[in-house]
Structure 1
């Protein structure tokens, strides 16, 4: 069955029509500890979206898995509802006490619900979580206490990679005589695998939660999450990427899987930062709230504070062009400091140069296609002008072939040209089978 290959988190588990007459009130769940343990176990062990190897090959097993997935979600949905009908209901106050005092829901469970069910059931899950927080505001306090624990994930990874000494804060210096930790290049292969899996799971979960429940963004924002996230990204990502590319893997499939997960983690970190800035700074401006100038100044200050984080800033700008946000501010507000915005945009350009990358041509092609000579369009087009030097081109080819040694240089050159000489984008699109049709038709062993 085609549906058997769809990740569980993308499956829509609700169907039109009545769900039946069964009633499982939160008050009853309190007294059924076996059901609580069953639900907790499923949240903990159910395969996540990237765990494609966990998808069953048997249609019968896949049907059973989908059925269990659906029943678990509907059970949690029912537990989060305090009013079933005029005859069967709990008062909001009693409902809030029951789910909170008996730990029917807590922040870790809500995070797991978002990552497991969010893609296929986002609207329903949003209403469910919103109701939980409305009926029991104590969850906001719990969330505020959870954010430092989430930030500790980044510190732990930095420590494991030898980028931060044990017990140091993210902003604290390392002692010169501190015990030297193994690096991503020298640690055992299993340790590297565990770190990347840990990072992938954490970043995916955090993003899913904020995407489903934007009201949570203010709690993360109050802890300086964007700044901490960018600093972590700048320190850890280059080291982890180098380790995955340069280390010797007997199992090439494992190496490719680690690269996919690391690339996925990078995207989720960038998207998380964008969600936070959008909902705490941009959204109030778009809604025309009071003190729009204050929100605009805060957004510009955030972008300015990211200027030292060259790698993070260039990756962020690639997905969410900062120039577009500045343009939005200029349209929404009568006065924007042109000197400040000019300085910021120059800093963004400098970040691209500092990491040795060029902005993908595809970003501007759609807006200025009439200005691009036909000889420069398409992959491998005759007469195309290469925007990188010979040495830079060789470095890009070497970077890709470290991970994908079986591909021909002619094929890789065509890919680089198509994707604006962005080696990471080339690698990701090859590994994820997302090449353009013109590239997909080429011989992958094509020589130079």
Structure 2
């Protein structure tokens, strides 16, 4: 295994970092402060996109730092999963950066689905404007009334009725649905078929958000923050009718598509966690060197030096494990990297949570304010331990795959 970035990957990551340092970092604090000052709480209908976002996106696109996640050389950057990982890490240093490069979730995952599984009409209508950054999207999967850690529990339905699909059910934690630019969603639901096994009972369906029967009920706060202007919504579907051509790859393909979507997506999430952890450790060290308490630099008090060492070890371990998962996806395919992908999904967010916790402690009261990005990083880390499957599900997957080596099939 060789985790050295290719010359192109290293150069791209350097350009991404330079763009962040030059164009994003100088305005990021002002950006989030402006949103906080104008916050509208849960009233997503009043949310607006600050003009600087579109201006920065245009500049990133002009510089060729655009759709870096997509391995298609014509539509994206043509980077492998491993090569993109190095740029993803850099974007993790900033809560603002992923969107500026059009590499933000859930859009990147939805674009990958359409690119890999969508038909020509679906690509023309939805993938093209998503790749251009003209619209945003949402992925409807998690449900409020069932344990969504088991995706086979899904209660929402997508039932064929002649030339249409009828959608019913409730979804929540639908990230990005409050964004005024959000126009399309991918709805995963049960399409019952007695002739198929339990992993071919679900479908993914494209749903324009202005379709009658789509009701955005509310935005959900995460640790009291509504994540304006993107949000995480609860959305109800009341006999929503869309043409049968809105199935992605046809009925019953939902789980297959989900596996293809989540593998690379988890690499992206985990590498961003590593970038955020690097930024948090950097802030902690700067604070420790700059502050004095009890006539000593803060860095020399208690066990702070030891904690710095522990953070460095944890970050590097998580990075190597994530790069190994990326390498396996590229060389062996997603199904051969299941253990690795589950492992990084457990390791990286937990590592970030611990590093940020230390950085918050080093900052004292400032660490839990909006004066640093640490609360946003902590929010990100703790949420990711639930998103895309909770820790326990991934540990269960790792154990099951390990036990299969010994003939245990349960």
TM-score normalised by the chain length of structure 2: 0.33
TM-score normalised by the chain length of structure 1: 0.31
Tell which structure's C-alpha radius of gyration is larger.
1
Give 1 or 2: higher strand fraction: 2
